[in-house]
Amino acid sequence: MGTTRPRASYLVALAAAGALGLSMTAAPASGDPRAEDKNPTASGFGGAVTSVDPSASAVGLEVLRKGGNATDAAIATTAALGVTEPFSTGIGGGGFFVHYDVDTGEVETIDGREEAPMGMTKDAFVNPDTGGLYPFSPERVTSGVAVGVPGTLATWDAALAQWGSYSMADALRPATQLARRGFVVDDTFRSQILDNEERFSAFSSTSELYLPDGEAPEVGSIFRNRDLAHTYGLISRKGADSFYNGPLAEEVVSAVQNPPVVEDTDLPVPPGSMETSDLADYEVRTPEPTHNDYRGYDVYGMAPPSSGGTTVGEILNILEQYDLGSMPQDQALHHYLEASALAYADRGAYLGDSEFVDVPVEELLSDGFAGERSCQIDPERAADKPVDAGEADGDYVESCDQVPETVGASGEDSEGLSTTHLTVADQWGNVVSYTTTIEQTGGSGIVVPDRGFLLNNELTDFSADPDDTGPNSIAPGKRPRSSISPTIVLEDGEPAMALGSPGGSTIITTVAQTLVNRIDLGMDMESALAAPRASQRNTTTVSAEPEFTAAHGAALRAYGHEFSAVSEIGALTAIEFLPDGSTTAVAEPVRRGGGDARVVDPR
């Protein structure tokens, strides 16, 4: 296990834990060997893994110790998170996988995003009784309609085939044992069940697993998921294809079309249209990663349908027009907030599934477009929000006096916050940055009966308005826009950093702000990750953690920024690669209960 390095910034984060209402460690069961403290920072050699959960990080570390590579460890860790973090991730969801190959020096990606069934219609979220949209929560998310065709297992299968040395059975074995043996329930696990008690109680399969006898598992108790262990066992024996074809596929479709609702629920739970053919036809995509250079670093991220790579990249490109490091911190943060608003306006105007929408990725990530957009930033005053999107047409001005008309503002979205991210590096230098999700905390709320996993509600990421003709409108076979932003940063062709975060549409700003903190503001990775956050997503107010407004609110209000309080933004994990060949693995020290970082050979 890695060693903790309690720098000043980390101690500040510890002091902030009370304000964030979070605990630094999982609550232990007295004397139980399964109880593990969370360790947010580890440094050393031989490979590293960092995730939100100590049991999952331990699984990944053991894979690395036994000679597995970064892909093997990433899949094993994610499968374990499906056991211990089932309300954020699992085989009923999807995600985006970014991989650096030390042999080729290339960054490659897998798009395992959930997909709309072929029977989905533009009015899927319209209540037929009223003619209006179902309310977003809990009605719209708690439905078969919201369930997209899952891509997680297809992602694992493709990643292991391309880069792994493990079989699927090898990768799933530790998680299968964890599901059977059980783990110690902490405050976060119990509170997430209680927060979803109405939704979970609506389904017989979900309440049986997570609310036995009508009660959530107590903190410190042991939670076992034998149904999931059996499901993992099936997949280990028969491969990922057993999920997309055969009896298991039929069970998934049955849960979507005929959700296992209890008789006395007040929720409407409209059924979905998914067919077994939708599962059988699902394929991952392998798009080229997005790429932009930032102050000598090469930043690689996810292409559409993720908006993460383009929007993180555009924020950084706009900020590269300014010497942030020479500015007072509050002035640098003003520029960060303004650049974020501009990039989110462009995200809303252009980003969607590139199989259905012509997304101008090259233009959005061009220096010419960034220079033109930077003309909209007043160094002394925040612009009125929302700002308009720019004209990404490849024809850019050389002077701010010539900036053309913009193309109109875009609305907000309701992307779910519940996601998880892990970062892995192996002894050879391969790197994985992988973000997975089932969308809302608890996804659709539907556990597939006798299978032990929740189905996603990812299709609520589409624009629900049936009259919307924008880039993120509903269409059969389409993948909804995402903000997931797994990122790998190279310097002179070698890994420098890898990072990512959960947090819905705040993922983008979490990753961008962390990179600005590390590269421009001179923070080490621990400090960059722990620093208070703010997220400007082209809205009238800036979402900000209390610690951010306490430190910077007065100065930024003088620029015209207004703030709305949120308890926390993101829960990032990262690995930094140091000149001596060692790595520093970092997880959130306090947000969402904190995370756990480990290295094979501690310094």
pLDDT tens digit string along 568-579? 999 999 999 999
Predicted confidence (pLDDT) at residue 12 exceeds the cutoff of 50: no
CATH number for position 499? 3.60.20.40
In this prediction, residue 399 carries a pLDDT of 72
C-alpha separations of 159 from 70, 98, 167 in Å: 10, 10, 11
Angle at 312 between CA 311 and CA 314, to 5 degrees: 60
Q: How confident is the model at residue 593 (pLDDT cuts 50, 70, 90)?
A: confident
Q: What is the pLDDT of residues 314-330, one digit of tens each?
A: 999 999 999 999 999 99
Phi, psi (rounded to 5 degrees) for 507: -55, -45
Phi, psi (rounded to 5 degrees) for 594: 85, 165
- Alpha-carbon distance 438 to 181, whole Å? 24
Angle at 578 between CA 293 and CA 301, to 5 degrees: 35
Q: What is the pLDDT of residues 518-539, one digit of tens each?
A: 999 999 999 999 999 999 999 9
Residues of 180-205 as b/e, b for ≥16 C-beta within 10 angstroms? bebbbbbbbbbebbeebeebbbbbbb
Q: How confident is the model at residue 447 (pLDDT cuts 50, 70, 90)?
A: very high
The secondary structure of 503-537, three-state, reads CHHHHHHHHHHHHHHHHCCCCCHHHHHHCCCEECC
C-alpha separations of 416 from 148, 272, 514 in Å: 14, 19, 21
Using an 8 Å Cβ cutoff, are 542 and 561 in contact? yes
Using an 8 Å Cβ cutoff, are 179 and 173 in contact? no
Q: How confident is the model at residue 28 (pLDDT cuts 50, 70, 90)?
A: very low
Give which of 424, 426, 343, 418 is closest to 385, Cα–Cα.
343
Q: What is the pLDDT of residues 451-478, one digit of tens each?
A: 999 999 999 999 999 999 999 999 999 9
In this prediction, residue 403 carries a pLDDT of 61
In this prediction, residue 7 carries a pLDDT of 30
Q: What is the pLDDT of residues 334-393, one digit of tens each?
A: 999 999 999 999 999 999 999 999 999 999 999 999 999 999 999 999 999 999 999 998
Residues of 313-336 as b/e, b for ≥16 C-beta within 10 angstroms? bbbbbbbbbbebeebeeebbbbbb
In a domain, 374, yes or no: no
Q: How confident is the model at residue 132 (pLDDT cuts 50, 70, 90)?
A: very high
In this prediction, residue 137 carries a pLDDT of 86
456 CB-near residues (< 8 Å, 6+ apart)? 92, 93, 94, 114, 146, 147, 148, 150, 437, 438, 439, 443, 444
- Distance between the two ends of the chain, CA-based, in angstroms? 10
Q: Is 159 left (phi over 0), alpha (psi -120 to 50) or beta?
A: alpha
Predicted confidence (pLDDT) at residue 18 exceeds the cutoff of 80: no
For residue 451, what are its two tokens?
């299978």
The secondary structure of 122-167, three-state, reads CCCCECCCCCCECCHHHHHCCCCCCCCECCHHHHHHHHHHHHCCCC
In a domain, 119, yes or no: yes
Predicted confidence (pLDDT) at residue 402 exceeds the cutoff of 70: no
Residue 236: domain span: 8-13+23-29+48-94+108-285+416-474+484-602
In a domain, 39, yes or no: no
Q: What is the pLDDT of residues 111-127, one digit of tens each?
A: 999 999 999 999 999 99
Using an 8 Å Cβ cutoff, are 479 and 114 in contact? yes
In a domain, 372, yes or no: no
In this prediction, residue 427 carries a pLDDT of 97
* Active-site entry in 77, 84, 419, 583: 419
In a domain, 333, yes or no: no
Least confident of 77-91, 398-412, 481-495: 398-412
In a domain, 358, yes or no: no
- Alpha-carbon distance 290 to 55, whole Å? 32
Domain tally for the chain? Answer: 1
In this prediction, residue 418 carries a pLDDT of 66
In a domain, 437, yes or no: yes
In this prediction, residue 3 carries a pLDDT of 30
Decide if 419 is catalytic.
yes
- Alpha-carbon distance 236 to 232, whole Å? 6
In a domain, 360, yes or no: no
Mean pLDDT for 88-114 is 98
Predicted confidence (pLDDT) at residue 490 exceeds the cutoff of 90: yes
Q: How confident is the model at residue 11 (pLDDT cuts 50, 70, 90)?
A: very low
